[in-house]
A and B are shown apart, each in its own frame.
Chain A
Amino acid sequence: MCIWVSVALRGEHNGCHDAERDAALLSQTFLGDAVRGMLSQYDDPASGSGYADLMPHDLARAALQGLLNRTNLPKDAVDYIIYGTVIQEVKTSNVAREAALGAGFSDKIPAHTVTMACISSNQAMTTGAGLIAAGQCDAIVAGGVEFMSDVPIRHSRKMRKTMLSLSRAKTLGQRLGLIGSIRLAHLTPELPAVAEFSTAETMGHSADRLAAAFGVSRLEQDEFALRSHTLAKKAQDDGLLQDVISFKVPGRDIVSKDNGIRPSSMEQLKKLKPAFIKPHGTVTAANSSFLTDGASAVLIMSEEKALAMGYKPKAYLRDFVYVSQDPKDQLLLGPTYGTPKALERAGLSMSDIDVFEFHEAFAGQIMANLKAMDSDWFAQTYMGRKTKVGTPPIEKFNLWGGSLSLGHPFGATGCRLVTTVAHRLQKEGGQYGLVAACAAGGQGHAMVIEAYPQ
């Protein structure tokens, strides 16, 4: 079962298509405190997913194999493979290529890796769409992968310098001298941080400030988080999350569903302490998306190619935009800026959209974006618009859960959003869907998707 998304760039209709998210998405392992996830994943025996022994390309490989299985795609039928990822494993810096080879794709298919924070796989898809639109390719596979269970931890700069000098040292004396210069401080490792390089502010901190700037209360955030988990649970129970494939962890069980969905109660959510801004902040572990392992893949083709190969496309990729703003104070406002631009390019208005899928980085970020979109003052002062953007009707918004409940493997989320829109359009019978997401660096993305006529 494949999703067909078509590409309409420069007026041309190009076809496309899709596929899956892998079980790994579901692999979130610990409760409550998402922020320090990396460590908890090791420590929590309950998680025991055995993921820590894997490598990122293993997850991507599984997603690609799942795609091959579901689509019966011949292993040499695509022209190009593109993957998005954020935290790179240095051994597989071009993870697209390693995963493609490992998944059994023909070694004649070139592959490259892109990175654009939380919209990396969106970038992979649109890069592919661009190749098709430019006439370079007819069929591509795009996807994303993120592996938080074993992030690269580096030696300190001092230690790295010493080690590099050591490899160049010629005499025993020089070597001993260098070894002797190593101090305890050299051994402090460098951990990757979910913080902006330009401002050194962590994303959760920024989200808390953003929520405060838009006067989003703790209650509103907790309610939205609860909604996300409740809807995700319902979607999971109703079997709507068809994009999920099972993943066999070597030496362990098969993981076959998202394991971060935990509908709780408002009372329980209320008990949590703020995670970033203490003691008066409003962003908590429960109303933030959690660190997750996961991979995704979609098949994108020109319409002619898809039909020629006998596929029934799922949807057209109508149009898309990327936007960027101040990485300090408007870090997470990408959807607000991206939505009107994408709609304008596609010649649509808010009321034409039947399905909205926004990336839920934080409940506070979603609420802040909704308030920004509802504000004439904000639109006039910061967006150069005459009137407000307008807010998506909540009854059309993220109805199958979102990043808050399903999880957010940075590099892989974009494909999940697009796939969900395609599936919801099929299920709900709408015509247009809109994906919007924010990303580190103050960047953002929005994409308009149209259902393929049934």
Chain B
Amino acid sequence: MAGARALGVLSRFTSRRYALFIGNNFRTFSMAPALLARTHVNYEVKGDVAVVRINDPSSKVNTLSVQMQREMTEVMNEVWANNAVQSAVLISSKPGCFIAGADINMIQACNSPEEVTTLSQEGQKMFERIENSPKPVVAAINGSCLGGGLEFAIACQYRVATKSKKTVLGTPEVMLGLLPGAGGTQRLPKMTGSEGQNKGKGRGFDTLSKPSGCMKPLHNLGLPSAFDMMLTGRNIRADKAKKMGLVDQLVDPLGPGLKSPEERTIDYLEEVAIECARGIVSKKIPLRKEKGRMQKIQDHIMSYGFVRNQIYKTVHGKVMKQSKGLYPAPLKIIESVKTGVEQGPDAGYLAESQNFGELAKTSESAALIGLYHGQVACKKNRFGTPQKEVKTLAILGAGLMGAGIAQVTVDKGVHTVLKDTAVAGLARGEQQVYKGLNDKTRKKNITSFQRDSILSNLTGQLDYRGFENADMVIEAVFEDINIKHAVLKEVEAVVSPHCIFASNTSALPIKDIAAASKRPDKVIGMHYFSPVDKMQLLEIISTDQTSKDTIASAVAVGLKQGKVIIVVGDGPGFYTTRCLAPMLAEAVRVLQEGVDPKKLDGLTTSFGFPVGAATLADEVGIDVAAHVAEDLGKAFGSRFGGGNVEVLKTMVDLGFKGRKSGKGCYVYQPGLKTKEVNPDIGDILEKYRITPNPAVSSDSDVQYRLVSRFVNEAVMCLQEGILNGPLEGDIGAVFGLGFPPCLGGPFRFVDSFGADKLVEKMRRFEAVYGNHFTPCQLLLDHANDSSKKFHK
């Protein structure tokens, strides 16, 4: 589909921040501990400094598992007891990971909130001992320092971090519906902001970067920075962390020397950290920084209760606005922080652990964790390694999609050819790629030099010159089977035999496109979502004739492009478009029944969709929606009915094609953030007015009419074998279409809501609207047998 611009919660959730809690399924917790040698934590005394090294031998990352915690406690006890030791350095032996968080399985293994609370309290106690350590402990951070890892680091007396790109600090718990449960909500507000620059420009939760009037001076204080970190879960790079006061000293990553760069960088970090530890003991390095004048003024302002209350209020309001109250974690985070600041640490730590326990057992947390696992699974290539790596990728059509695909390909070291038929179109496309990279330069993610050298991988052209070198061609030309056939033949005339032909179509069946091919085994669908550089999902469509190697190759390319991938079977609308179509048809009907577009948007967003149904239609494009509705209507018959397609067609005739044309359900004006309902659609809707049936027209009914058609279609896709499994179905719906993340996807929704309850609602709607709401067989099976679940 041309696209769902996912905003708010979803976009935050999806921004490549997945390295948080890592489950480790094969770890056993019941090993007899006492007799075993330590495998995860060890230490070595260098002079008067104990160097404590963390390394989980069974995983690529370190997690705060039960065993890790036990060994850490033992080691620290020995360090404290050793009179020769004056200070300690805490360091990971793994390049690229300090501690990536707590062990998620440890939390999931708990049976009650109380058990989780106990876990949290154990963590709190351990870090409290570190915080009160009579011997200074220096955390030497290289690689991800997230969640429990960060809570550990901030309990230490001093932090040294490498400036490596892999070094990121953050508290991503909120993205899993949790909170930092080992003292994070209590320590972070005291940590950040000492040199205080929190400029969360346009990223994440910007409550405090745009304060209202009197709040202005506050935006670089500890409390707001801490809220920003904990409520967005965003990763903070080392240099930024230093500015915020999270990190005390930075170390540059080293290049080739007498050892590999990774190894030597860790050694160097250790050397510097040891010097810091000695400096702290000898008082050459002060632990309390002299406060600047601004800091003193800020502290003074913050000492007023009403100022703090204003902050809590603002943050709370912002959270409610963004999350519609559907996500309990952010609210619990605010509550825990507030309790600690206002009532003191004892109450604060207690509130934190209790809230953590409660959150861990919420359905929202289960849904978000499910999505996290799904995301990890969809980042793997289950089709194996392709025979030939794609080194040259050609893209046909330099439109929004074509150029978007080029944008996510060219910076991965793949030679990218962007072909269009007209100079103007090509120039626009190349500009889009340039702009994408230049924006990264402006945000200082890459240097202008890197931008230029990346762009050297892009070739723009109007002919098929050099296509014989292409390993894969992705077409993103106009959605017309005849044009697709024409380009397929043109491509096949010039490419080498191994070259794969992929079609970026949102609804045309791939087998129909492949019908014109001499080599249907090399033809596949790659359905990207717009905007390609923001939307994480890639839906790959294979036909009966597509070879396994072709699929493997398409998945490999998608993974390289950083996509989360679902591989689905061929059919009209595949999976995602097919689920969206009935929901949009229902949305049109709702509009025809006299519901205002704003109200419709409100109903969908309050259900958890990041983008309202009317806005979504505008984003997708009214013309595309009309096209799809008609095509799929033909393919699936009256089941896909609902709203009158003529409504959409009339809109298209009047030029209301959605956001791209400036008018759709709404009027879009450049530079304006707020949008008004298009006054002209009133007449159209009046013309096609339907009288609503009050029995199925309450707000809640309207919501379930929209959602149940989506969900039913998704389940039917599984039933028909379009989907490989419920997991991919959930991932596709959430990451491609913005299905509410707090519900975890259509399949998890059925599990948690209850298939029987859903069927009951559908039967009620069916009585009024007919087969649009007839539940599919698989859904009925689940309704009839409550032990049947999509997710175990």
Contacts and interface: CB of A to CB of B under 8 A. Distances in A.
A215 B258 contact: yes
B258 A214 contact: yes
In the complex, the 7 A-B pairs of residues with the closest C-beta atoms, listed nearest first:
A329-B255, A213-B257, A213-B254, A198-B449, A214-B257, A280-B272, A212-B268
20 contacts: A198-B449, A199-B447, A208-B252, A210-B257, A213-B261, A213-B268, A215-B257, A215-B258, A215-B264, A280-B249, A280-B272, A280-B275, A329-B255, A329-B261, A330-B255, A330-B256, A375-B258, A377-B258, A378-B257, A381-B256
Contact of A213 (B251, B256, B275, B447): B256
Nearest to A325: B256
Given A280-B272, A328-B255, A213 B449 contact: no
A436 B523 CA distance: 57
A199 B449 contact: yes
Contacts of A205: 252
Given A205-B252, A209-B255, A212-B257, 8 more contacts: A199-B449, A213-B255, A214-B257, A280-B251, A280-B272, A330-B256, A371-B257, A375-B258
A274 B252 CA distance: 14
Nearest to B272: A280
Interface of A: 197-200, 205, 208-210, 212-215, 277, 279-280, 326, 328-330, 368, 371-372, 375, 377-378, 381-382
A278 to B, nearest CB: 9
Contacts of B252: 205, 208-209, 212, 277
Contacts, number: 59
A159 to B, nearest CB: 20
A279 B248 CA distance: 11
Given A198-B449, A199-B447, A199-B449, A382 B256 contact: yes
Nearest to A280: B272
B59 to A, nearest CB: 27
Nearest to A381: B256
A277 to B, nearest CB: 7
Nearest to B254: A213
B264 A213 contact: yes
B4 to A, nearest CB: 38
A200 B449 CA distance: 9
A212 B254 contact: yes
Contacts of B254: 209, 212-213, 329
Contacts of A208: 252
A335 to B, nearest CB: 15
B162 to A, nearest CB: 12
Interface in B443-458: 447, 449
Nearest to B160: A280
Interface string B243-287: 000000101101111111100100010001001000000000000
B255 A200 contact: no
A376 to B, nearest CB: 10
A378 B258 CA distance: 6
Contact-residue bracket for chain B = 10 to 19
A394 to B, nearest CB: 19
Contacts of A197: 449
A328 B449 CA distance: 12
A421 to B, nearest CB: 29
Contacts of A214: 257-258
A49 to B, nearest CB: 36
A283 to B, nearest CB: 12
Nearest to A377: B258
A10 B447 CA distance: 43
B469 to A, nearest CB: 27
B284 to A, nearest CB: 10
Instruction: Indicate the member of A212, A330, A375 with the most B CB atoms within 10 Å.
Output: A212
Contacts of B260: 381
A59 B252 CA distance: 39
A277 B254 CA distance: 13
Interface in B281-321: none
B547 to A, nearest CB: 39
Contacts of A209: 252, 254-255
B255 A210 contact: yes
Nearest to B449: A198
A395 to B, nearest CB: 24
Contacts of B258: 213-215, 371, 375, 377-378
Contacts of A200: 447, 449
A326 B261 CA distance: 14
Contacts of A280: 249, 251, 272, 275
A280 B259 CA distance: 20
B518 to A, nearest CB: 45
Contact of A329 (B256, B259, B447): B256
A208 B449 CA distance: 23
B255 A326 contact: yes
Contact of B256 (A198, A199, A378): A378
A279 B249 CA distance: 9
A352 B252 CA distance: 39
Nearest to A329: B255
Nearest to A382: B256
Contacts of B272: 280
Contacts of A371: 257-258
A175 B447 CA distance: 35
Interface string B481-492: 000000000000
Contacts of A326: 255
A62 B249 CA distance: 49
A452 B504 CA distance: 72
Nearest to A277: B252
Contacts of B261: 213, 329
B568 to A, nearest CB: 43
Nearest to B255: A329
Contacts of A199: 447, 449
Contacts of A212: 252, 254, 257, 264, 268
B95 to A, nearest CB: 15
Nearest to B285: A279
A153 to B, nearest CB: 21
Interface in B607-636: none
B157 to A, nearest CB: 17
Instruction: Indicate the member of A210, A279, A378 with the most B CB atoms within 10 Å.
Output: A279
Instruction: Indicate the member of B257, B272, B447 with the most A CB atoms within 10 Å.
Output: B257
Instruction: Indicate the member of A199, A205, A280, A371 with the most B CB atoms within 10 Å.
Output: A280
A381 B260 CA distance: 9
A221 to B, nearest CB: 15
A210 B449 CA distance: 22
A197 B260 CA distance: 26
A213 to B, nearest CB: 3
Interface in B687-741: none
A212 B251 CA distance: 11
A199 B449 CA distance: 7
A12 B272 CA distance: 54
A320 to B, nearest CB: 25
Instruction: Indicate the member of B249, B258, B261 with the most A CB atoms within 10 Å.
Output: B258
A277 B92 CA distance: 23
Contacts of A378: 256-258
Contacts of B255: 209-210, 213, 326, 328-330
A377 B264 CA distance: 13
Nearest to A214: B257
A200 B257 CA distance: 21
A204 to B, nearest CB: 12
B140 to A, nearest CB: 12
Contacts of B275: 280
A433 B67 CA distance: 62
A210 B272 CA distance: 15
Contacts of B449: 197-200
A198 B453 CA distance: 10
A370 B252 CA distance: 22
A326 B447 CA distance: 16
Nearest to B453: A198
Nearest to B279: A279
B474 to A, nearest CB: 31
